[in-house]
Amino acid sequence: MRRGNPFDVLVRLRRIDEKQRRAALAAARQAHEQARDRLEEYKERHRKALQIDEMLTPVELRSLQLRGLQTHEDLIAAAEDYARARQALDDRIDGWRKSAEDLDAAERLDQRRKDEAARLARTASERSLDDLLGMLHARSSEATP
């Protein structure tokens, strides 16, 4: 079984984490937009429920009061849902930013490792070439009296 490079594994895991957090962020953003739309809808319902066009009888006034209370409760619930959705969105944004920074750091570390490996390989190749040229020079010096 071939053992993978730990940096490659780290980068791959960080990419997966970043992708998952980005998907969670998109879902949270959609939930936030839905909560905002619902809040606006309830605000409009509340305004419409409280419109009075004419003089009201005591029964109609009581009915209006109850409708106002109900729409107010719906409005409060929608505002709380919106606040929770906003907090969830902020949390997802923070999580995605952290995972994106972690991925960036891992990729930079991996690139530095690859650059260092290339530099070491280049140095080893140059040494081998120097040794080979030295041996050829020594042989040619021995061959010509």
Measured distance CA(39)–CA(84) in Å, rounded: 12
Determine the length of the chain: 145
| Structural domain harbouring 94 | 6-102
Number of structural domains in the chain? 1
Residue 3 has pLDDT above 80, yes or no: no
Q: What is the pLDDT of residues 74-119, one digit of tens each?
A: 889 999 999 999 999 999 999 999 999 999 999 999 899 889 999 9
Looking at every residue in the chain, the average pLDDT score rounds to 87
Report if residue 129 sits inside a domain.
no
> Is the four-CA dihedral 44, 50, 54, 59 of positive or negative sign?
positive
* CB contact at 8 A, 68 and 49: yes
Residue 138 falls inside a structural domain: no
pTM: 0.67
In-domain check, residue 78: yes
